[in-house]
Amino acid sequence: MKQFTIPNIYRSSLISAIKNKRKLDDKFKKDFTPTLLDFGSLQIYLARHFGFCYGVENAIEIAFRTIEENPRKRIFLLSEMIHNPQVNADLEDRGVRFLQDTYGKQLIDFDTITKDDIVLIPAFGTTLAIEALLTEKGIPTEKYNTTCPFVEKVWNRSEQIAQKGYSIVIHGKPKHEETRATFSHVSKNTPSVVVNDMKETIELAKYITGEKDAATFETEFKGRFSEGFDITKDLQRFGVVNQTTQLATDTQAISDYLKQVVRQHYQLTDANINERFADTRDTLCYATNDNQTAVTGLLETDADLALVIGGYNSSNTSHLVELCEQKLPTYFIDSYKRIINKDEISHCNWTTKEQLTTKAFLPNKSVVRVLITSGASCPDSMVEKVIEKLVSLYNADNLLESVAARFC
């Protein structure tokens, strides 16, 4: 896989050494057990896979190279480059300005930008309407487009099945940048509708079977279907694609459920199911799969708590929190600074985004076991700082070098 040039501020010699050793020992990625960092009274278990993915490193490389190569130009980002506060703050510190917030609210009017400006398209991609607007202004988009290749893969696969007469059901958060971009690209080629979760999927299926009156569809799914979408015919033949940062198991469950509904409604067999339902399993992102599977392996460890590190508006990170919370106390943090001391941690509720403070989050035990993972937009350097902060709380700083030596 391609190696990217990203600023050293995001790298960690400790984490790089651990990842490289795990890669050498497990070339085919079959071992999802965590890595133990043993500091005596503190034992830290690192997930097998975590941190920056291919798409994130690609976006960061393009963004920082663009800044370096254009010192006298105004540089804008359509919205956050990735959902990580440190990276976005670093870009702002270097003069980059954001045109929209993460939900598409305009922060700087498009009328103020000119053909002499640079506009970076974030890793989530953007809508065809915004691409057209930039092109009309004479602003080149190709060179400064950091859209993740795995997001583009979803678009390309959707176009392929659209050419075969299939409509598309998109599993995604309706307000998320990536979902908005995917919906724009997909609906250009075929009728499309967005579902957020299994609950909505079950309701959508009732229109396929005729259990629900078609007249209520437009109200129930308002703002989430393509222009001209006809619920009476556009779901007679379709496939399911996803926002790449969703839980892979949720996307698969939604796809499996709709496939079964179609099979029963049209009385199809395995041999002819593809007459009505397209196989799109290849649109699931490898990094999302790896990180989520690694958390499953991580949770097989007997531990006291889990720390999940990443931006609070990061979809893929929030799903790692969701998985961990099913088994043990879990704290969602975006910085090592959230760990105040042994008795207090500031963290985020991943569903409400409410900032919480928990006392005595570290148990009073002779040996405390902590699970750690991070989202695909979280720098390894932040993970290292979290480890260092925990180690300092147990006065085990002197052991850091010897523990790190195991992986060199």
Tell me: do 279 and 162 sit in the same domain: yes
Tell me: do 156 and 266 sit in the same domain: yes
Arithmetic mean of pLDDT, 20-33: 94
Tell me: do 163 and 270 sit in the same domain: yes
Tokens of 337: 């600074």
Confidence bin at 286 (pLDDT 50/70/90): confident
Confidence bin at 289 (pLDDT 50/70/90): confident
Amino acid identity of residue 71, one-letter, is P
Determine, yes or no, domain membership for 3.
no
- Determine how many CB atoms are found less than 10 A away from the CB of residue 160: 14
Which residue, among 165, 235, 155, has the nearest Cα to 195 in the 3D structure? Answer: 235
Which entry of 178, 200, 322, 384 is annotated as an active-site residue? 178
pLDDT of 250 higher than 80: yes
Tell me: do 22 and 77 sit in the same domain: no
- How far, in Å, CA of 295 to CA of 273, rounded? 33
Tell me: do 165 and 291 sit in the same domain: no
Tell me: do 188 and 250 sit in the same domain: yes
Determine, yes or no, domain membership for 145.
no
What's the pLDDT score for residue 402? 87
pLDDT of 305 higher than 90: yes
pLDDT of 1 higher than 70: no
Say which residues have a Cβ less than 8 Å from residue 172's Cβ, sequence separation at least 6: 178, 179, 182, 183, 194, 196, 242, 243, 246
- For the question of whether the overall pTM of this predicted structure is more than 0.85, the answer is yes
Tell me: do 251 and 203 sit in the same domain: yes
Tokens of 26: 């497990």
> Which of 70, 104, 136 is the endpoint of a domain?
136
Confidence bin at 167 (pLDDT 50/70/90): very high
CA dihedral 76, 80, 81, 83 (to 10 degrees): 170
Tell me: do 172 and 269 sit in the same domain: yes
Determine, yes or no, domain membership for 221.
yes
More confident residue, 43 or 248: 43
Tell me: do 62 and 34 sit in the same domain: no
Place of tokens 């498009």: 110
Arithmetic mean of pLDDT, 365-389: 97
Q: pLDDT tens digits for 53-67?
A: 999 999 999 999 999
Give me the CATH number covering residue 91: 3.40.50.11270
Tell me: do 359 and 299 sit in the same domain: yes
Determine, yes or no, domain membership for 1.
no
> Which of 242, 258, 284 is the endpoint of a domain?
284
For residues 97 and 119, the answer to whether their CB atoms sit within 8 Å is: no
Q: pLDDT tens digits for 193-212?
A: 999 999 999 999 999 999 99
What's the pLDDT score for residue 81? 87
Query: For the chain, how many structural domains are there in total?
Result: 3
pLDDT of 317 higher than 70: yes
CA atoms within 13 A on the CB side of 271: 0
SS3 annotation, the chain: CCCCCCCHHHCCHHHHHHHHHHHHHCCCCCCCCCEEEECCCEEEEECCCCCCCHHHHHHHHHHHHHHHHCCCCCEEECCCCCCCHHHHHHHHHCCCEECECCCCCECCCHHHCCCCCEEEECCCCCCHHHHHHHHHCCCCCCCCECCCHHHHHHHHHHHHHHCCCCEEEEECCCCCHHHHHHHHHHHCCCCEEEECCHHHHHHHHHHHHCCCCHHHHHHHCCCCECCCCCCCCCCCCEEEEECCCCCHHHHHHHHHHHHHHHHHHCCCCCCCHHHCEECCHHHCCHHHHHHHHHHHHHCCCCCCEEEEECCCCCHHHHHHHHHHHCCCCEEEECCHHHEEECCEEEEECCCCCCEEEEECCCCCCCCEEEEEEECCCCCHHHHHHHHHHHHHHCCCHHHHHHHHHCCC
> Which of 114, 136, 158 is the endpoint of a domain?
136
Q: pLDDT tens digits for 37-52?
A: 999 999 999 999 999 9
Determine, yes or no, domain membership for 142.
no
Tell me: do 267 and 352 sit in the same domain: no
Determine, yes or no, domain membership for 321.
yes
What's the pLDDT score for residue 214? 95
Determine the structural domain holding residue 219 and report its residue range. Answer: 150-284
For strands 330-333 and 305-309, give the pairing.
Answer: parallel
Distance of CA 8 to the CA centre of its chain: 23
Give me the CATH number covering residue 332: 3.40.1010.20
Tell me: do 229 and 291 sit in the same domain: no
Arithmetic mean of pLDDT, 156-180: 95
Known catalytic membership, residue 131: no
